[in-house]
Structure 1
Amino acid sequence: MEAVTALSRERVETLSQTLGEPAWLTQARLAAWEAYKDLPFPTPKTEEWKYTDIRNLPFEDLPLETPTGRTLTREALPQAVQARLERTDAAAIAVFVGPDLAYVELPEELREKGVIVTDLRTALAEHPEKVRPALYRAVPATSPTPGAPDKLTALNAAFWTYGIFIYLPKGVTLEAPIGIFKYLETGGALSVGRTLIVAEETAQGAYLEEYLSPALDAPAIHVSVSELLLHPGAILRHANVQSWGRGVHHFHRQRALLEKDARLNDLVATFGGTLSRAEVQSELVGPGADSEMLGIYFAHADQHFDHYTLQHHVADHARSDVLYKGAAKDRARTVYSGLIRLEPGAQKTDAYQTNRNLLLSPEARSDSVPQLEIAANDVRCSHGSSTAPVDETQVLYLMSRGLPRTLAEQLLVKAFLADVLTRIPLPALRQHLETVIEEKVTL
């Protein structure tokens, strides 16, 4: 890893040159740098960041994680990654170790269908006609997007050093998911990654993105952006699973553009790291678009998890549904803030937003802020939230039947989260998340 600590215009130019990028991308990075330079970091005075303070994090003091070009065999991958691969049913696999695309499995039958699974650097060289119109389209390099302030988005657009490109051709249907795994080996670095998914007209597929690391001695910061482009009639099942070790500070923004009759089933699962902030946005720009946004999280010790969702309805006759549920124990804190925004042309909209939180200790805390902003008059919209401690009567009842308290709480947490888990259309992933939840209860 190259130990360059300064974020600067010169650093952007050097990075783009090192990665062998075309001139248009260098210019996009430089425009993002100018935006980053002028924008302030968010503070608790910013409404969307009211409950999360990042002012003391060393964004500009850590060395930027940069590629070294190494590749690994499957047997040489970190043990945590190998163990995870044994429990996945992915049809195609890509593994990043640090910023290096260390391992790829893409069956020939998928290649013959025109499916592309590769890193962004390779895609820029081999498929420029597909990448250039799509990159920075959902999450622009400079223009503010709906949601929280754009300082970290501009940082990502200027300094991403690794990324994945997924392309599903028109009419292609994939039964098994594509699995992408990012493994962070050491702390003390700024890791910046980007994901670009393009699903052409009537394409159907599933995508799993998971972050893994051991507990780190030195703090690390990870800033990621995912762009999802769903063309008319496309169907995408998408999951983002955050299982970092202690010491990682994770910031993720995802924005999906749904055209006519496109459907998205999205899941954000947050379990690891010291601090995690995930912003998930669906932009329903075509009539008949349908976005289902699921969230599941479990915080323990002094973890801090912050989730923000945006359902932005631009077109008519579209539907969106948000269901985020989580638990917190010890001294952990969770935050949820969500907004349903309807433009004047978004008539005949169905939009729902629900957040539920379970507290397993008196010191745990959850803050929930659901919101509506409606400019259309022929719609159905609802939102709601609840936060409550675990029912001690239920715990005692289960204990009276011979269950130890830990197992009793484990059963209650799984029951509480069941309506999210049952809506995950990827059985192997659902089973994996159930196992993670069981482990979290016993920590």
Structure 2
Amino acid sequence: MSTNTILPLNPDAVRALSESKSEPAWLAELRLKALELAGQLELPKPEKTNITRWNLDAYGAPKASAPIASPAELPQEALALITEAAQGENLLVQKDSSVVYTRLSAELASQGVIFTSLEEAAREHAELVQSYLMQAVLVEENRLTALHAAAWNGGVFLYVPRNVDVKVPLQALFYAEDSSATFAPHVLIVAEANSRVTYVDNYLSSDKGKPQVHNGVVEVFAKPGAKVQYSSIHAFGDHVVDLSYRRAVLENDSRMEWIVGELNDGKAVSETTSILKGNGSESDAKVLCVGSNDQSLNITTHAIHFGMDSDSQMITRAVMRDSASAIINGITKIEKGATRANGEQTEKVLMLSPKARGDANPILLIDEDDVTAGHAASVGQVNPEQVYYMMSRGISKQEAERLIIYGFLAPVVAEIPLEPIRNQLQGMIERKLGR
């Protein structure tokens, strides 16, 4: 443990951030304590990835962006990611260090749904936010989580009251345009008992800029019988190091569905975790990853079972081209007492170049006897026999390889709940694959 760590933030900057946001005393204190703790904690050690060689200090400084009256004021590259249904309402946009646009339909607001920036929620719904903020992802886990707790900005707070069924998706766009600005959004979702909600977000950066770090956290709390669908696509440029923790805490008979597209051009570490505390809780995680050039990626999907009769499903598909490398981890942990739990996982990596590297690591940790669990993993290249067969039917080699790749990715792409998001994902995949 280091006590002389040089941090990219200082107490004066953190105090100034709290004062500029008129934050409540408890939050200002949390930030300062988190920064102090960051100086004592070590960096995380992702499996087979040495992140100490990465530039992890490019946090920049908080820079407020002016509010916008309409999403049409956004650059075209950002506007293109907003679904047609969310052009006017049920949309939140963060640009650099601050939220610049928020709209929630009157119908949902009348049902008690809260959809606003986390900064505003900390002021207007302080007691509610304080009960959940940094409770799934703990401040003291490592230096990155502590730095996030000290520096987060903008963000989303989504609250769905008991028995409310949100039938339309809510969308957020996080756009990093100025690489010298701190960009560390925090997403906090609370779904009360028997509620339903679908939330979609996109992360994007300008294609220009100096090195930048995105240190982001997502926390989801699904109360008994609640169902949460969460779709997220990350498409940062190669100047951004993406560090993302996503974590859901599931109570009795609740269900969490993760759909994640890791389509960055730069280095990335992500962890997507479901904590199945409640009996009968369910988690379904589908993760897609595409690497190109000399990217280094570490993608972990994690399910931890505490509840009886809990069920987790995990599917990860990764495609690596050029000299990109990926460590793909699937971890299912079934704790003592989680009787009749079921955990299934599959990790597959497809390499399109002799220089590409992929490592699929399925891990089962079982501390209970009366359970079922299984895993499958594979790493390989495009099957030349499949290509030859398709070419014999009059399909070009390039088209044959394209069809095989999309067939490989289909288990994730097909599960995106919204057609516009599926189309976005398809377009981003084609861009990354250069096809």
TM-score of the two chains, using structure 1 as the length reference: 0.92
Does residue 225 of structure 1 match 2:223?
no
- Residue 137 of structure 2 aligns with an amino acid whose one-letter code is V
Distance 2:320 2:84 in 1: 26
User: 1:209-220 counterparts in 2 under 5 A?
Assistant: 209-220=201-212
Q: Which residue of 2 aligns with 1:125?
A: 123
Match status 1:59 vs 2:69 = no
Whether the 8 Å CA contact 2:288–2:318 is kept in 1: the answer is yes
For 2:294 and 2:85, how far apart are their aligned partners in 1?
30
Q: Does the C-alpha gap of structure 1 residues 404 and 102 become closer, same or farther in structure 2, counting only changes over 3 Å?
A: farther
Q: Does 1:176 align with 2:168?
A: yes
Query: 2:417 & 2:68 partners in 1: Cα distance?
Result: 32
Greater shift, 304-313 or 228-237, is seen at 304-313
Distance of aligned partners of 1:50 and 1:62 in 2 relative to their CA distance in 1, 3 Å threshold: same
Structure 2 residue 79 is matched with structure 1 residue 79: no
CA shift at 1:186, angstroms?
Answer: 2.7
Q: Which residue of 2 aligns with 1:246?
A: 238
2:100 to 99, 102, 105: 102
C-alpha distance in 2 between matches for 1:57 and 1:197 = 30
How far off is 1:62 after superposition?
A: 4.4
For residue 373 of structure 2, what is the amino acid of its counterpart?
C
Q: 1:326-365 counterparts in 2 under 5 A?
A: 326-365=318-357
Indicate conservation of the 8 Å contact 1:19/1:121, yes or no: yes
1:300 aligns with 2:297: no
Residue 437 of structure 1 aligns with which residue? 429
CA distance in 1, matches of 2:423, 2:58: 39
Q: Residue type of the partner of 1:389? A: Q
Structure 1 residues 85, 372: CA separation in 2 closer, same or farther (over 3 Å shift)? same
Q: 1:323 to 1:122 in 2, by over 3 A?
A: same
Q: Secondary structure at the match of 2:312?
A: strand
* C-alpha displacement of 1:323: 0.6
Mapped to 2, the partners of 1:206 and 1:260 lie a distance apart of 19
Shift of the 434–408 alpha-carbon distance from structure 1 to 2, 3 Å rule, reads same
C-alpha change, 1:217 and 1:128, in structure 2 (3 Å) is closer
Structure 1 residues 101 and 62: alpha-carbon distance in aligned structure 2, compared to 1, 3 A threshold: closer
1:6 and 1:440 map into 2 onto residues whose CA distance is 31
Conservation of the 8 A alpha-carbon contact between 1:327 and 1:360: yes
Q: Which one-letter code corresponds to 2:77 in the other structure?
A: A
CA drift of 1:179 comes to: 0.6
Q: Against the structure 1 CA distance between its residues 292 and 221, is the aligned structure 2 distance closer, same or farther, given a 3 Å change threshold?
A: same
Q: How far did 1:94 drift?
A: 0.8
Q: Is the Cα–Cα contact under 8 Å of residues 230 and 258 in structure 1 kept in the other structure?
A: yes
Over residues 259-313 of structure 1, what are the superposed CA-to-partner deviations in whole Å (9 max), with x where a residue is unaligned? 0100011111111231111111111111010000110111112222211122111
- Structure 1 residue 402: Cα displacement: 4.0
> Which residue in the other structure is 2:139 paired with?
141
Contact 1:89 1:176 in 2 (8 A): no
Q: Does 1:234 align with 2:231?
A: no
In structure 2, the CA distance between the partners of 1:88 and 1:211, relative to structure 1 (3 Å rule), is farther
CA distance in 1, matches of 2:81, 2:215: 23
What is the one-letter code of the residue matched to 1:7? Answer: L
Residues 1:36 and 2:38 aligned together: yes
Deviation, structure 1 residue 127: 1.6
Task: Point out where structure 1 has 5 or more consecutive residues left out of the alignment.
Answer: 145-149
Provide the secondary structure at the position in 2 that maps to 1:431: helix
- Equivalent-residue separation in structure 2 for 1:245 and 1:378 (angstroms): 46
Deviates more, 1:58-67 or 1:233-242: 58-67
Match of residue 302 from structure 2: 310
Give, as a single letter, the amino acid of the residue that structure 1 aligns with 2:345.
Answer: Q
Do the aligned residues in 1 keep the contact of 2:340 with 2:371 (CA within 8 Å)? yes
Offset at residue 35 of structure 1 (A):
1.9
Secondary structure of the corresponding residue to residue 132 of structure 1 = helix
Distance (whole Å) between structure 1 residues aligned to residue 214 and residue 58 of structure 2: 14
Conservation of the 8 A alpha-carbon contact between 2:64 and 2:98: yes
Which has the higher mean CA deviation after the structures are superposed, 125-134 or 426-435?
426-435
Show the counterpart of 1:286.
278
**Displacement of 1:209 after TM fit?**
1.4
- Please give the alpha-carbon distance, in whole angstroms, between the structure 2 residues aligned to 1:6 and 1:278: 21
Q: TM-score, normalised by structure 2?
A: 0.93
Contact in 2 for aligned 1:222/1:250 (Cα 8 Å):
yes
Aligned length: 428
What displacement does 1:196 show?
A: 0.4
Q: Distance in 1 between matches of 2:388 and 2:178?
A: 43
* 1:270/1:305 contact within 8 Å kept: no
| Mapped contact 1:249–1:273 kept (Cα < 8 A) | no
CA displacement 1:104-153 (0-9 Å, x = unmatched)? 232111111111111011112222232121212211223x3xxxxx2211
Match of 1:17 in 2: 19
Unaligned runs of 5+ residues in structure 2 are: 1-6
**Alpha carbon RMSD of aligned pairs, Å?**
1.9
- Equivalence for 1:147: none
Amino acid at match of 2:250: L
192, 195, 207: which one aligns with 1:200 = 192
Q: 2:373 aligns with which of 366, 381, 386?
A: 381
Q: Deviations over 1:412-437 (max 9, x none)?
A: 11111112223333333223222322
1:229 CA displacement:
0.5
Partner of 1:266: 258
